[in-house]
Homo-oligomer: A and B are copies of this chain.
């Protein structure tokens, strides 16, 4: 058994049975080993940003890692931006990077580079397998590292000779760390604070945006009057009719300041104190209101479900959670706008949908229009590195083939990792992509004003305008094997969206909308 075969067998034994891959020559023995470990499913991406983003989406849905397969330093470099998002999401990923044979590295061949530097940038855990004999054990350790609470990017560098040499040994799964249990005195102290009747916010983040935590938090809120917020960009927010409705903190500092007005106690549960996404001249970066006490009740690596359950049993033993009623917008008619697209999606969102949301400015109305839709999961752009939406949708569809995946994309972001569509076509994934085509980096037009930049001419405006020439997403999707259509009215959008949801396989709808900003 060579090193590559021991790696694949160990990964499968450790519960990792999907590998998103964009291989090269140094990974050929890993690729060949797929034929001897048929339990491992290889999924090809045409660009590494698709590979890493798909691994992120997959693990957000299943809470266990997929593997990636990347080609040396440059391949890893191409996958970094979505590893950044995965790191921010607390997503477990076993990131496998092929490297030159150990004895080849000192020759500084063209593809040679410092992979450790890239791994350090993106990963909580990094190791290089020096010999075939070590590969199995290293792979088992990598899975355990990826699953270290709350979830981490673990990068395992696999030199070509460690991969091709005989001597590989399959390793047993390694015991994983459990989330830390929040101590009882912390529960007691917070119960006392909640009992004071002062203005309190429970800020839910990380794993605390899932059902168990939401139900407990809602019971606590019902009794104590505390308000619930989710962090601005949750990795996975469970929501819809039958679940507690939780408003997200806004993207703009001004929104957060408004949402937290007069709050005296901010309780962090899997979340961190709110900060402005960017700095703006003369505006605060830290958004916790003056005079507000921050209570770090449970961190991202803590057992938030257990902690909230104990807190709820203490302060609200008999209370029931407040659940969102089923309610949908009317099907819109007339002009197609960000508003009417949002209404149509709210009206038609299917039960059990997974929404990968990178709609940016065009998506501002979506949380409201879908709040009472059937239960669904919402996957947000956790790290701000655009190009996440389509890959995450692709991976979520591999993870949950029986659930409909809706990918909400802005046109600017869509162009980063567009070839995710090809993987969707190849895998016949049930992903319906809606591109909000407003032909501009609309968010930057807003930000240009907000940062106080003064412009006197057209040179600056030119760099925010992506409508010269117009991008034709129907042609682009068709070029990658995804059936696509363009909607110019609300009626057209509604008809196309319904049709896409009713058919198997991927679809794309280009929704031509005016910029909101």
Q: Which residues of A line the B interface, CB within 8 A?
A: 21, 23-26, 28-29, 31-32, 34-36, 38, 42, 44, 46-47, 49, 73-75, 77-78, 80-81, 84, 88, 100-101, 103-104, 107-111, 113-114, 117-118, 120-121, 160-161, 164, 233, 272, 275-279, 281, 285-286, 382-385, 387, 412, 415-416, 418-419, 422, 425-426, 443-444, 447-448, 450-460, 462-464, 466, 468-476, 478-481
What is the bound-complex CA distance between A3 and B384, given in angstroms? 25
Q: Would you list 9 pairs from A and B whose C-beta atoms are within 8 A, ordered by A residue?
A: A29-B451, A31-B453, A42-B459, A42-B463, A74-B383, A78-B387, A107-B285, A110-B384, A471-B481
What is the bound-complex CA distance between A25 and B110, given in angstroms? 35
What is the bound-complex CA distance between A199 and B485, given in angstroms? 65
* B107:A275 contact, CB within 8 angstroms: yes
A287 to chain B, nearest CB (A): 10
A480 to chain B, nearest CB (A): 6
* A117:B121 contact, CB within 8 angstroms: yes
Additional 12 contacts, C-beta under 8 A, given A28-B448, A35-B459: A31-B464, A32-B460, A35-B455, A74-B384, A74-B385, A104-B275, A107-B275, A107-B286, A415-B419, A425-B469, A472-B480, A475-B479
A134 to chain B, nearest CB (A): 18
What is the bound-complex CA distance between A108 and B276, given in angstroms? 10
What is the bound-complex CA distance between A413 and B275, given in angstroms? 40
* A104:B74 contact, CB within 8 angstroms: no
* A454:B32 contact, CB within 8 angstroms: yes
Partner of A459, one of B34, B78, B459: B34
* A447:B28 contact, CB within 8 angstroms: yes
A29 to chain B, nearest CB (A): 5
Residues of B within 8 A of A276 (CB): 104, 107, 109
Task: For A287, give the chain B residue with the smallest CB separation.
Answer: B107
Residues of B within 8 A of A382 (CB): 110
* A472:B468 contact, CB within 8 angstroms: no
Residues of B within 8 A of A453 (CB): 28-29, 31-32, 164
A162 to chain B, nearest CB (A): 12
Partner of A475, one of B281, B452, B476: B476
What is the bound-complex CA distance between A164 and B470, given in angstroms? 32
What is the bound-complex CA distance between A458 and B41, given in angstroms? 12
Residues of B within 8 A of A384 (CB): 74, 109-111
* B77:A77 contact, CB within 8 angstroms: yes
* B463:A121 contact, CB within 8 angstroms: no
Task: For A29, give the chain B residue with the smallest CB separation.
Answer: B453
Residues of B within 8 A of A480 (CB): 469, 471-472, 476
Partner of A44, one of B416, B451, B454, B466: B466
* A46:B412 contact, CB within 8 angstroms: yes
Residues of B within 8 A of A454 (CB): 32
What is the bound-complex CA distance between A78 and B419, given in angstroms? 15
* B161:A101 contact, CB within 8 angstroms: no
Residues of B within 8 A of A451 (CB): 25, 28-29, 160, 164
Q: Known contacts A44-B462, A118-B121; is A35 also within 8 Å of B74 by CB?
A: no
Task: For A459, give the chain B residue with the smallest CB separation.
Answer: B34
A250 to chain B, nearest CB (A): 14
Task: For A111, give the chain B residue with the smallest CB separation.
Answer: B384
A28 to chain B, nearest CB (A): 5
A99 to chain B, nearest CB (A): 10
Residues of B within 8 A of A42 (CB): 459, 462-463
Residues of B within 8 A of A472 (CB): 478-481
* A74:B84 contact, CB within 8 angstroms: yes
Q: Known contacts A278-B26, A460-B34, A463-B42; is A73 also within 8 Å of B78 by CB?
A: no
* B121:A73 contact, CB within 8 angstroms: yes
Residues of B within 8 A of A462 (CB): 42, 44
Q: Known contacts A35-B456, A110-B277, A285-B104; is A469 also within 8 Å of B481 by CB?
A: yes
Residues of B within 8 A of A118 (CB): 80, 117-118, 121
What is the bound-complex CA distance between A29 and B240, given in angstroms? 41
Partner of A422, one of B422, B456, B463, B469: B469
What is the bound-complex CA distance between A378 and B108, given in angstroms? 23
Q: Known contacts A460-B35, A476-B479; is A104 also within 8 Å of B455 by CB?
A: no
